[in-house]
A and B are shown apart, each in its own frame.
Chain A
């Protein structure tokens, strides 16, 4: 079955360390997204990519970095510059804008919960 796989599900990090969260999809989607969710809050967009080798900053990109070398993969690195990284991270994907436009539905992964010790 097609879907999005996020790993690891749980991750613990010491202050000052960079960590990378994996997001892989086999839905043949061109567009991919990273969101952050804090307890009791909605989703906030970190980065999004509409095509391979291209990505754009979302609303809270500071302290994060991404790459998009393959269509299937969109890893997120939480750097030591992120002041408060403890959160639930969600990856999503969809078809590109020129195939369905605003009708395109987002498919989400199960999330990765990062805790800074």
Chain B
């Protein structure tokens, strides 16, 4: 299964931009890059996903490298409510890779007031 590598932790100040990196050097051509985040004692929530082009939504932006071996989740203005664990995962369309989704340890984002 294609795997991702993220830093264990990152820190930011409130109202500053945050760039969360993810490496996925073994990504296949049909794998989508998904980001989820998890607040303490809650289930993860979807943030954003993309295939090749950069993506924007109301929560964040996703910048995907041209070779697709890495991506960056961008929070344009961090708030205290953005403090969470952020997971970057790959989702393929194949039978096994579709169902057997692997979540790593993610990146713990701390936001300072």
Residues of A within 8 A of B (CB): 4, 6, 31, 33, 35, 40-45, 48, 50, 56, 58-59, 88, 90, 92, 97, 101-111, 113
Contacts and interface: CB of A to CB of B under 8 A. Distances in A.
A97 B93 contact: yes
Interface residues of B, number: 29
Interface of B: 30-32, 34, 36, 41-46, 49, 51, 87, 90-93, 95, 97-106
A66 to B, nearest CB: 13
Contacts, number: 79
B95 A97 contact: yes
Nearest to B101: A45
B99 A106 contact: no
Given A42-B87, A102-B93, A103-B32, A108 B45 contact: yes
B99 A31 contact: yes
